Amino acid sequence: MSLTWTILGTISQLLLAYLLFMVVVFSATGIGNDDPLGKLQLNILNLSMYVLPALCAASAGIVVYLHRHGGSAASYWWYAMPLVATVLYLVYALMLGNRS
């Protein structure tokens, strides 16, 4: 594992955490303003506001840990964890936005 790529990936993950927080805040606000949401739907949106950025920080921490303990280049795949969660959130948000 290259130290340069680990540092750049970690910085990117921390910037992505900020971006995802803003995406969830604004998308959840827009969804919530249309029609009243159920308690479960509202809880999922509220939880997403914290979970998506936390996944970014966790994946960055995992990669840094693996870098320090001799991980291989395959360790960089941990950076994809928040991206998968973001896709799941966007699918959920689009489904809520298109409800009638």
Long-range contacts of 14-19 (CB under 8 A, 24+ apart): 14/56, 14/57, 14/60, 16/56, 16/82, 17/52, 17/53, 17/54, 17/56, 17/57, 17/82, 18/53
Q: What is the largest CA-CA distance in the chain?
A: 52
Segment 12-51, tens digit of pLDDT: 999 999 999 999 999 998 888 877 888 999 999 999 999 9
Q: Is the pTM of this model over 0.85?
A: yes
pLDDT at 1: 77
Instruction: Provide the pLDDT for residue 73.
Output: 87
Q: Which two tokens stand for residue 15?
A: 């910037």
Structure tokens at 99: 């409800």
pLDDT for 14 equals 95
| Mean pLDDT (whole number) for 60-78 | 93
